[in-house]
Chain A
Amino acid sequence: MKSRKLIVLISILTFYSGVLPVSISAQTLRSSYFLEGSTYRHQLNPAFMGERNYISIPALGNINLETTSNVGLSDFVYKYNDPTGKYDLTTFMSSSVDRTEFLGKLKTNNQINTNIGLTLFSTGFYGLGGFNTIDVGVKSNTSFNLPYELFNFMKTGMDQEVYHIKDFSANSNNYLEIALGHAHKVNDNLTIGAKLKLLIGATNVDAKIDQMDIALTGDKWEIMANGTLNTAIAKGYYKTKIDNPGEISGFDYDSPGIAGLGGAVDLGITYQLGDHLTLSAAALDLGYISWSKNLKGATRNNEPFIFDGFSNIAIDPAEGDPNSVDKQFDNIKDDLEDMTRFYDEGTSRRSTKLTSTVNLGAEYKFPFYDRLSLGLLATTHINKPYTWNEATVAASISPLKWFDATVNYSYSDFGPNLGWMVNFHPKGFTFFVGSDRMITEVTPQYIPVGNMNANLCLGFNITFGRKR
């Protein structure tokens, strides 16, 4: 039953555990980068100024949900031409799935990311010689990394003797962000902007098998693995087992609170080159959070687990004979479980860098119809081992003064994506909805077939003041 669960877990369920909070910093739609009427463009580049003053409807101003992955259901679940006709699908572990085909679909680091960004309150207004913004929002980022070598081991087996599995990890970062921004037009061509952010940490979990070395031969199976577990949560503590002091069995906290404090800055610049071309650049979330009480956990594997066979197997064992196969098998299971046991290593302060993002953009407005533009956006998301890059080409149109829209095509480490956004911004309010990552194919259960890249962002805001 355990193995069945494992397969299902790896093949499907774990893959879709993306409801957990995650690591790429949820900003707002990158599709809005070239839509001048978009309210929250300043979250992508603090040098962007708003069309009007605005204030968000609490908790509804900007809601952004996103999942990304560079692998998908179709990489793990395959169509199956079952001779018995009983099954239509099978898993990647089936002998009917070619190893080269399966492994060829995988990346060195197979990532699954989930991001939630919720703006609790935001306002933007002109003053102080520029455009000012105040944001209060919650960000939650969770990432899993399943290294290629793990699946290579599962699929290739003993056709390869040694495996080095690195960065088998999970990370979750959850915090409240208070940001003060100012964009200032230096001259007709140049605008700069910056944000200062106060970060109030809620929880941070970082679990990692730094390296797992597996060597399998007919003579010996050898496994060495070590990992760390860091958990930052206010008034939190690890629960440990009574029968094995120090072994972590879970964690709990006495009451919610502030687990860490941090700060960050966003920097941005735009430069209009001629009448039709605008260049822009931004570096976001340059900062860190210091977690005041980080619960440290780690494995304690000083020596590798080595199985070179059972010793002195009792052929006709008496009950409880330590040399019986059953007893020795139990011991091996215990030894293997020891490899995965994390122990409470006390507490310490710990700082985590924010996932920083660099956006480089260029927008060209067509001379024959200046409400139509073509934009190029390069985004780099820096967060080892979850770093990813994306290039986007976007066509944007503003046919009406109160409406604009964009479609874009991007290619990233998560594969190709189609994005879009519609933005209604008449006088008095704005409403936008869009997606940077459209799901193009789903199962009848509405689970993406390909890479699980999905995103939805929408928001309602009140605008006021004259249009700039």
Chain B
Amino acid sequence: MTKNKLKVILTNLFISSFFFASCVNQDYDLSKNIDLNIHVGGSKLALPVGSTDSIKLNKIIKVDESDVLHLNGGEYSLLKEDVVSPVKVSVNSVAPINVAPINLPIITIGHASAYSDLRSASGNLSVAVPLTLGVFELNRSGMPAELTSIKKIGISSSAQVKAVIKFNLTGVNPSADVRFNNLVVTFPDFIVSNQLNVNHELVLNDKVSGGLTKEVYINGFSFNYESGGALAIKNQLLQLEKNVSIAGNIVGTNLNASVVTGDIKLETSITVSPVVISEVEGMVDPAINVKVNPISFSIPEFLKDEAVTMDVENPMIRLTVNNEIDIPIIISGVLRGYRNGVALSQVDIKGTSANPIRIDAAGKSVICLSRTGQGGPAGCKNYQIADLNKLIEKIPDQIELVLNADADQSSTHKIQLGKDYYVNIDYAVEVPFKFGPGLSIAYNDTIDGFNDDIKDLDISSLNVTTTVENNIPLKLQMEAIPVGIDKKTISGLSVKVTGEIAPCDNNGKTQKSPITIELTEASDEAIKKLDGLLLKVTAKSPQTVNGMPLKESQYLRLTNIRAMAIGGLNLDLNKK
């Protein structure tokens, strides 16, 4: 190789090296779309989410969303109050009782021919009036059927009843001085008059010569001397006959023959004005027809589920009765629960024979029917209906209350005949949220609307852990079902909730419970379809918190919330 050849070769080599410089790599054509899916977090992406504010029960159970949810001093209850149409009670009036005139047999005091035999030397006279009887008849048919016996009859003050007793002494000149000496007129024992003494007697010492009329005002009739202390009314017939009698002495002073005109005789008659009965005391059994319209209400959402079983410590039906009648009323009845027209339950309402459910006469009574027989407001009468919870074990949307009301027949009472009485009843069905061990509330709710936020996230598994602080007296278990935008369950995506939320302790203090929620894809991109979670929360009442009230101030609080995307997070930025 010559020097010149070497020169040429080397020179060409140097120059040509300039041209092998750049070559175009079509694989890196940046004019084409570049995939902007990015993966962050490595094999996991953990986010400390933090803690929530206290989620008070009043944010979950909102009283304004139901017509029966109620707060009483901050404690939840179901309450339905209403008024029963006034119950009219009356006993018809009866026609006045006409007492037949009473004519006692004529008593012959002495014959004119024997006058001298009667008279003393000084001209004075003293003759015994023998016991002479007449019949006082009370007789009235068509008495009200509600009256079974009468203890007393009251007489209207506007229609005074008086018995007019007339004495006529014949055979003696009216100017003569002849008078009764302790003549006793004895009336039947059922006559009540202020003018009679305790023995129903009117004692007369009046001048009788020339005739004597006495009026006795009858205040009423009292039959407590009758068998059983009352006059039985049978076949609506009031019938009673009793004697009226007179007995005593007649005395004369300074009598002489000129004043004796014939045989001396005493004629006695009694007439009684018609008796208008205004009031009756006795055994009265008027018809009391209470009609309670069906009690309808909308069931709060969280109690609607078929799986809800209520075990309420002391549900209560409170009846506030204003009873105008002076008759205690004994009530009993049946409560029936319905949902969607289907009968769910039936509970009998009745007291015991020793302690019937009794509405006081002539006044206001508060009757509390409850599961425990305790807990009504001050002054109320508590009655235990032990199986009352059955009525609400499945919450009905309609309750039928059939009330049977009867006048108390264990004692006598007064009633004015012909007067309309009313029994006014207010009722309240109250279910305080204090639960027993049988409680099981299945509450369904959906939290949704997060598809917009996660549709571009590619996560295969998401774990959320938290510690739940709970001072609600309910143990809570949660299930979650993933749903898409169409609200249908997403196949290929499972949600597992581990752990249960313990209730508050037996002092009402907060307890903490760890909870884990795992979302796991079984098929690709299932999480991207997620729009919400259908939550099924089951609430139970363990023994430690039985009977503790549910309060609006009680709360749940999620603390130490952490979210971890297992496998990291893929973000699709191509769509932005």
Contacts and interface: CB of A to CB of B under 8 A. Distances in A.
Given A88-B29, A158-B42, A444 B48 contact: no
A442 B50 contact: no
Contacts of A310: 49-51
Contact of B34 (A1, A89, A308, A442): A89
B22 A313 contact: no
A87 B32 CA distance: 7
A252 interface: no
Nearest to A450: B25
B35 A82 contact: yes
Contacts of A397: 7, 10-11, 14
Given A217-B46, A218-B48, A315-B59, A91 B38 contact: yes
A348 interface: no
Interface string A85-101: 01111110111000100
A418 B21 CA distance: 8
B interface majority secondary structure: mixed
A90 B18 contact: no
A158 to B, nearest CB: 5
Contact of B28 (A77, A155, A369): A77
B483 to A, nearest CB: 20
B562 A90 contact: no
Interface centre among B6, B18, B25, B32 (most CB of A within 10 A): B25
A113 B573 CA distance: 30
A3 B48 contact: no
Contacts of B45: 157-158
Interface string B5-26: 0110011011101100111111
A52 B54 CA distance: 89
Contacts of B32: 87-89
Contact of B39 (A1, A95, A312, A369): A95
Contacts, number: 187
B306 interface: no
A90 B14 contact: no
A302 interface: no
A7 B52 contact: no
A interface majority secondary structure: mixed
A99 B43 CA distance: 11
Nearest to A157: B42
A311 B51 contact: yes
Contacts of B55: 315
A79 B55 CA distance: 51
A12 B30 contact: yes
B22 A3 contact: no
Contact of A90 (B37, B51, B53): B37
B53 A313 contact: yes
B576 A89 contact: no
B561 interface: yes
B33 interface: yes
A254 interface: no
A88 B561 contact: no
B22 A438 contact: yes
B25 A94 contact: no
A174 B321 CA distance: 101
Contacts of A371: 7
B570 to A, nearest CB: 6
Nearest to A90: B35
A399 B13 CA distance: 12
B31 interface: yes
B31 A316 contact: no
A108 interface: no
B491 to A, nearest CB: 22
Interface centre among A80, A95, A442 (most CB of B within 10 A): A95
A162 interface: no
Given A89-B30, A159-B43, A406-B14, A444 B24 contact: yes
A439 B21 contact: yes
Given A7-B573, A95-B37, A444-B31, 10 more contacts: A4-B576, A7-B38, A88-B27, A89-B32, A310-B50, A372-B10, A397-B11, A440-B21, A441-B25, A445-B29
Interface of B: 3, 6-7, 10-11, 13-15, 17-18, 21-55, 59, 560-562, 564, 568, 570-571, 573, 576
